[in-house]
């Protein structure tokens, strides 16, 4: 009897978290799906870049060279992201108590740096060609390589964006958006080839500079996504959905503090729930468990939630209210 009472008291006063197996298993499957998509896209982009590099060397097209460099950079981003997905599957331990999901955010930084490097290389090649003009030959092959580049990148973009949104990986979505823009810049190579064909030799390096500009726009979007994830930003609509699920739980008078954060492609939540002060230990614990389960089912990709019951009118409750009003 005393043991049962102490167990209930512990659950009431100490925040508790139940990692739902039905949520954790899809999260682990998400890592496996991310790895499969990454290696498949690496193979597609590897073949695409190899074909483009051969034609760029053969024809002397600096626009195609810039596109090739960008495709190579995009292919190489699969390596740090793949390593991050593998690390993210390791269980939490006493040093890394939240696990290794943050490795995805570090991979996102590597992706941003890789995109920046590809922009620099493409700009250098285009400016050098403007200062030192050279003849571009074999224009039909340059055009064909541009179409191949577009097709390969669009295929990879669809795979990465679809998988990234399904498993909640910002880094994988950013990588997919990067690939999509690569495909559009590949089509720009056609403009350069067409300009050279009608007697405008400067068209090829000019398109190279336009490709550099497109890469910079991708860099801005990717950097913003990675920055937000590093700063624990979440979509406000997720908070609204969570608050609705918690407040609709029978016995919950009000939702107090509610925090959510991404760790890799898994979402975690912590909340304080205001309840009637005259509830028994068992009743308060039951309401907290019910609210937690509702929250796990209401918010996509939420894998764990810590719920703390807070009696209405308590000193802790008043202190928290003052803190949030001050903030």
User: Domain with 255 in it: what CATH number?
Assistant: 3.30.70.1350
* Predicted TM-score (pTM) of this structure: 0.67
Question: How high is the pLDDT of residue 250?
Answer: 93
Are 67 and 191 members of one domain? yes
Q: What is the pLDDT of residues 251-310, one digit of tens each?
A: 999 998 899 998 877 889 999 999 998 888 888 889 999 999 999 989 988 888 888 888
Are 29 and 175 members of one domain? yes
Query: How do beta strands 252-263 and 266-275 pair?
Result: antiparallel
Are 285 and 306 members of one domain? yes
| Integer Rg of the chain from CA | 26
DSSP-based helix, strand, coil % in the chain, nearest 5: 70, 10, 20
Are 196 and 273 members of one domain? no
Which of 200, 230, 260 terminates a domain? The answer is: 230
Are 163 and 248 members of one domain? no
Asked whether residue 9 is assigned to any structural domain, the reply reads no
Which of 230, 253, 273 terminates a domain? The answer is: 230
Asked whether residue 107 is assigned to any structural domain, the reply reads yes
Q: What is the pLDDT of residues 153-195, one digit of tens each?
A: 889 889 888 888 887 777 678 778 777 777 777 777 777 777 7
Spatial strand order of the sheet with 16-17 comes to 16-17, 302-311, 266-275, 252-263
Q: Judging by beta carbons within 10 Å of its beta carbon (0-12, 13-18, 19+), is residue 261 exposed, middle or buried?
A: middle
Count of structural domains, the chain: 2
Q: What is the pLDDT of residues 232-258, one digit of tens each?
A: 899 899 999 999 999 999 999 999 889
Domain residues for the domain of 82 are 21-230
Q: How many CA atoms lie within 13 A of 82 on its CB side?
A: 13
Question: How high is the pLDDT of residue 30?
Answer: 58
pLDDT mean across residues, the chain: 78
Are 57 and 126 members of one domain? yes
- Whether the pLDDT of residue 14 is over 50: the answer is no
């Amino acid at each position: 009897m005393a043991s049962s009472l102490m167990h209930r008291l512990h659950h009431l006063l100490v925040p508790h978290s139940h990692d739902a197996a039905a949520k954790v298993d899809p999260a682990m499957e998400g890592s496996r799906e991310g790895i499969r998509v990454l290696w498949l896209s690496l193979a597609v982009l590897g073949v695409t870049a190899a074909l483009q590099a051969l034609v760029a060397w053969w024809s002397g097209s600096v626009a195609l060279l810039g596109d090739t460099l960008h495709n190579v950079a995009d292919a190489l981003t699969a390596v740090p992201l793949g390593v991050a997905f593998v690390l993210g599957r390791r269980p939490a331990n006493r040093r890394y108590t939240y696990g290794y999901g943050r490795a995805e955010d570090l991979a996102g930084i590597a992706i941003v740096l890789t995109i920046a490097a590809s922009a620099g290389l493409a700009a250098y090649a285009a400016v050098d060609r403007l200062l030192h003009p050279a003849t571009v030959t074999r224009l039909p092959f340059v055009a064909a390589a541009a179409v191949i580049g577009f097709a390969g990148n669009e295929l990879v973009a669809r795979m990465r964006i679809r998988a990234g949104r399904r498993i909640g990986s910002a880094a994988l979505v950013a990588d997919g958006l990067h690939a999509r823009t690569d495909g559009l810049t590949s089509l720009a190579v056609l403009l350069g080839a067409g300009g050279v064909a009608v007697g405008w030799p400067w068209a090829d390096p000019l398109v190279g500079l336009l490709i550099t500009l497109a890469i910079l726009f991708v860099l801005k979007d990717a950097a913003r996504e990675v920055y937000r994830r590093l700063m624990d930003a979440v979509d406000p609509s997720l908070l609204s959905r969570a608050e609705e699920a918690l407040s609709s739980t029978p016995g919950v008078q009000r939702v107090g503090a509610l925090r959510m954060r991404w760790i890799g492609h898994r979402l975690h939540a912590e909340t304080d729930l205001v309840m009637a002060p005259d509830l028994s230990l068992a009743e308060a614990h039951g309401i907290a468990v019910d609210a937690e389960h509702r929250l796990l089912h209401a918010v996509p990709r939420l894998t764990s939630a810590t719920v703390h019951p807070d009696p209405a009118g308590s000193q802790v409750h008043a202190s928290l209210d003052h803190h949030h009003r001050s903030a």
